[in-house]
């Protein structure tokens, strides 16, 4: 059935393209965060283990919101690791880094998601897609705050 939600097909397609990239970046960041939760060691173990758990739970919920927005615009959400891997800008991790490197990589991952979300703002604005704009604003707030908190963990010993 043809979609008539007040956003042109051209604009919906442009927004979908950006949302698919956002979904891929978010999913890879979720997986990386969850992996670090399982594998963190060292004196910060308990703090980081719990922090990473909070972060991956939040990311997991956001994945569904992003995918459902893609569906609401009339497109299918990418649903294979291969497809997501082609869309993401975040490097997957095959090794188990030390705790500080985990934090650095997560900061970089959140900053990547922030840039991906910001890059989508003009397309959503041009299309008059307030729902996607709201979603992006919420995601930006979460990722900017999380990146700040993670950076603060690295700066704690530098006083």
Residue the block writes with tokens 């051209």: 10
pTM: 0.94
Share of the chain above pLDDT 70, in %: 97
Query: Per-residue pLDDT tens for 60-98?
Result: 999 999 999 999 999 999 989 999 999 999 988 888 999
Query: Of 66, 79, 73, nearest to 10 (Cα)?
Result: 73
- Say if residue 104 is exposed, middle or buried (CB neighbours under 10 Å; 0-12, 13-18, 19+): middle
Mention every residue, 6+ apart, whose C-beta is less than 8 A from residue 54. none
Query: Per-residue pLDDT tens for 125-158?
Result: 999 999 999 999 999 999 999 999 999 999 855 5
Element (H, E) at 14: helix 9-39
Structure tokens at 40: 């963190």
Sequence-distant contacts of 134-137: CB under 8 A, at least 24 apart: 135/65, 135/66, 135/69, 136/22
Work out the average pLDDT over 102-122.
98
């Amino acid at each position: 059935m043809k979609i008539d939600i007040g956003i042109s097909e051209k604009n919906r397609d442009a927004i979908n393209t950006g949302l698919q990239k956002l979904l891929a970046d978010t999913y890879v960041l979720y997986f990386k965060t969850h992996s670090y939760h399982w594998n963190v060691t060292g004196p910060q173990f308990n703090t980081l283990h719990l922090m990473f758990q909070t972060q991956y739970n939040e990311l997991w919920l956001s994945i569904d919101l992003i995918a459902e927005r893609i569906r609401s615009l009339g497109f299918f959400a990418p649903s294979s690791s291969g497809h997501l891997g082609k869309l993401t800008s975040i490097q997957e991790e095959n090794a188990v880094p030390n705790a500080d490197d985990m934090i650095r990589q997560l900061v970089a991952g959140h900053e990547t998601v922030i840039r991906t979300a910001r890059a989508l703002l003009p397309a959503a604005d041009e299309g008059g897609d307030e729902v996607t704009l709201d979603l992006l604003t919420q995601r930006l707030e979460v990722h900017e705050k999380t990146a700040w908190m993670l950076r603060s963990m690295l700066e704690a010993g530098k006083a």
